[in-house]
Amino acid sequence: MANYKGIKGFKVESLASDPTAEDTVGKVWYNTAGNVLKYSAEGSGAWAAGGNINRSQLRGSGSFGTQTAGLVATGTSYPAPAQGGANSETYDGTSWTEVGDVNLARYGASGAGSTTAGIIFAGATFTPNPYAMSATTETYNGTSWTEVNDLNTARHNTASTNGAPQTACLCIGGAPAPGPYTEVEEWDGTSWTEVNDLNVGKRRQGGAGTTTAALSYSGTTPAGSSSTSVTTETYDGTSWTEVNDLNTGREYVGGVGATNTAALCYGGKTAPGTNNTAVTEQWDGTSWTEVAALGTARYQSTSIGTSSLALAGGGRTAPPESPSSVATEEWNDPVYTVKTVTVS
């Protein structure tokens, strides 16, 4: 026997203004201000403009945190004369604010942690030459940077498990010549310990996850190669295993992810010269899928956030030797929108 709900249905609520889309997915209401019927929908991920960084010296920076509480530090300025940067800035979801400088100016560093407990490591210092490798590690307490124990192997253009906390992260691969390195080191909050190597040495690659569930992907290999990598490897806390490739090979990517089953790879260079890309790919633990592209093709942007909420700030958009970008883009997945019911 039919019930009252089945016969009469539900009454559509009348509202003077629209509710928050994220909180009302699947609901329908009548907007009395516009005299229209509306509903909330959940859509695929997309990039949107965020607040500009205060400085453009963000090529090859170390970064970490979340989309609403992120930090970027170090980097190199262009055009020449290039030099390592010591600046740091934090993002609150709307705007960037300059905070305390790192102790060692450099570029090509990596990072992990949060804006109140962060860490950066590795890099190149330009002294005594542009490719002087550093093993320096610094931690951040929300106010200032403190130098702590060095990496065992000095390097730059490494990847990190940027989803990990300050006290437990990985430094993955990197350079210099005749690299790239296969070496991986684990930080325990006090010191670095070498753990099992990557199967394929990489530099300028992306990373994600934690010390027991890590991901390494993209980059350049072997040394001096003009070919970019599509290789992806996962780490279970003991060993690395090669898994399904990226769809688009590239280097200098932005890469984030809280685990090795959910990551995002965005931007980068597909080859030397002017081949910047806006391609974004999402990892589901098994394979990579191309999703919505960045608004502006760039490489060496920040790696901040997760596969659902990421931040691409700075980087370079147009070589050769052009100034770095100050633009920021925010990735949200899914995207929630309020739509108007139309009749065709």
- pLDDT of 7 > 60? The answer is no
Of 153-167, 171-185, 190-204, the poorest mean pLDDT is in 171-185
Of 338, 326, 333, the closest CA to residue 47 belongs to 333
pLDDT, average across residues 169-174: 96
Q: Cα–Cα distance between 150 and 222 in angstroms, integer? A: 26
- pLDDT of 344 > 50? The answer is yes
Phi, psi of 170 (to 5 degrees): -115, 145
pLDDT, average across residues 139-166: 95
Bigger pLDDT: 277 or 9?
277
Q: Cα–Cα distance between 46 and 194 in angstroms, integer? A: 38
pLDDT, average across residues 207-223: 90
Query: Beta strands 280-283 and 288-291: pairing type?
Result: antiparallel
Which pLDDT tens digit goes with each residue over 234-288? 999 999 999 999 999 999 999 999 999 999 999 999 876 667 899 999 999 999 9
Task: Calculate the alpha carbon distances from 177 to 174, 201, 237 in Å.
Answer: 10, 12, 28
The verdict on pTM exceeding 0.85 is yes
Domain architecture of the chain: domains with CATH: 4-43 (no CATH), 57-334 (2.120.10.80)
